């Protein structure tokens, strides 16, 4: 396999399909990476598999609708071309028939013809949420059937250790040699996108500390050969 640098990847990628589980994953997790591709001229489309209705934050009666609207505004902030929401159960992707998930993701592939797929790293779904893991695994399987490259957003273990200590969270962190790409990012668009998710981006949350610890870097793993 030819090892391409991230600079080459950014320059050569025309169409990116982002597959995530929840509204806010595209911003809180992938926002700066998505915007890096947009800035280099790629068309980026987002498929979000749930409407995020199971969140305990926000206190809205129709949280699914609120979060859908937030996701669409966040997409605009990131420069995303199109946002598609599926209506699989938030918190329940593990129990959805895999074939149904595959078909929905296949549909997004057919519409957007991506040359690169971007997901959360599947190991523990970065944050331990099973929905993240399932969304990534199914997207990787569909990408493999098309021979399309997949990059997974991941965190360095130096960062997850601090977050685990300070917040008591359980996170998946990787040592440097398992993080294949370090990407220099600017976070202004991501911060605007995070602001769009008003029901979820609560002050004092781990998100802000993570961004502080990551600074102007994000890390990606090459997942293409892992299916």
Torsion angles phi and psi, residue 61, rounded to 5: -75, -35
Least Å distance, CB 153 to Zn ion, is 12
- Residues in contact with Zn ion, counted by CB under 5 A, come to a total of 2
Residue 166 vs residues 5, 88, 204, 218: alpha-carbon distances, Å: 34, 33, 11, 21
Report the nearest approach of Zn ion to the CB of residue 34 (Å): 15
- Looking at the DSSP bridge assignments, the partners of residue 16 are 44, 116
Measured from the CB atom, the residue of 116 and 207 that comes closer to Zn ion is 207
Cα 129 from chain centre: 13
Phi–psi pair at 81, nearest 5 degrees = -75, -55
d(CA 135, CA 126): 12
Determine if 68 is a binding residue for Zn ion (CB under 5 A).
no
Nearer to Zn ion, 45 or 90 (CB): 90
Under the binding rule (CB under 5 A), the answer on residue 90 touching Zn ion is no
Of the ranges 8-16, 23-31, 36-44, 144-152, which one interacts with Zn ion (CB under 5 A)?
23-31
Cβ-based nearer residue to Zn ion, 19 or 42: 19
| Cα gap 75→78, rounded to integer Å | 5
Binding status of residue 22 toward Zn ion by CB under 5 A: yes
- Contact present, 127 and 24 (Cβ < 8 Å): no
**Max CA separation in the chain (angstroms):** 51
| Beta carbon of residue 119, minimum distance to Zn ion (angstroms, whole number) | 12
The one among 9, 25, 123, 138 contacting Zn ion by CB under 5 A: 25
22 versus 133: smaller Cβ distance to Zn ion? 22
CB of 151 or CB of 207, closer to Zn ion: 207
The stretch among 14-22, 148-156, 171-179, 188-196 that binds Zn ion (CB under 5 A) is: 14-22
| C-alpha to C-alpha distances, 113 to 17, 43, 103, nearest whole angstrom | 8, 10, 15
Residue nearest to Zn ion (CB): 22
| Binding stretches for Zn ion (CB under 5 A) | 22, 25
């Amino acid at each position: 396999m030819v090892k391409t640098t991230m600079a080459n990847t950014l320059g050569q990628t025309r169409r990116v399909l982002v597959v995530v589980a929840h509204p806010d994953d595209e911003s809180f997790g992938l926002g700066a990476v998505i915007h890096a591709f947009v800035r280099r001229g790629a068309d980026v489309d987002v498929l979000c598999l749930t409407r995020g209705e199971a969140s305990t934050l926000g206190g809205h009666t129709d949280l699914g609708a609120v979060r859908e609207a937030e996701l669409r505004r966040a997409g605009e902030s990131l420069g995303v071309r199109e946002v598609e929401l599926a209506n699989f159960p938030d918190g329940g992707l593990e129990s959805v028939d895999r074939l149904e998930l595959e078909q929905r993701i296949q549909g997004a592939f057919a519409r957007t013809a991506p040359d690169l797929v971007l997901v959360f790293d599947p190991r523990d779904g970065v944050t331990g949420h099973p929905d993240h893991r399932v969304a990534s695994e199914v997207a990787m399987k569909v990408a493999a059937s098309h021979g399309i490259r997949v990059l997974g957003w991941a965190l360095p273990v130096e960062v997850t250790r601090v977050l685990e200590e300070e917040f008591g969270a359980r996170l998946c962190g990787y040592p440097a040699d398992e993080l294949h790409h370090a990407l220099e990012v600017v976070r202004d668009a991501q911060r605007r996108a995070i602001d769009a998710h008003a029901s979820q981006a609560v002050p004092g949350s781990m998100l802000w500390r993570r961004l502080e610890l990551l600074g102007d870097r994000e890390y990606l793993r090459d997942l293409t050969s892992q299916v």
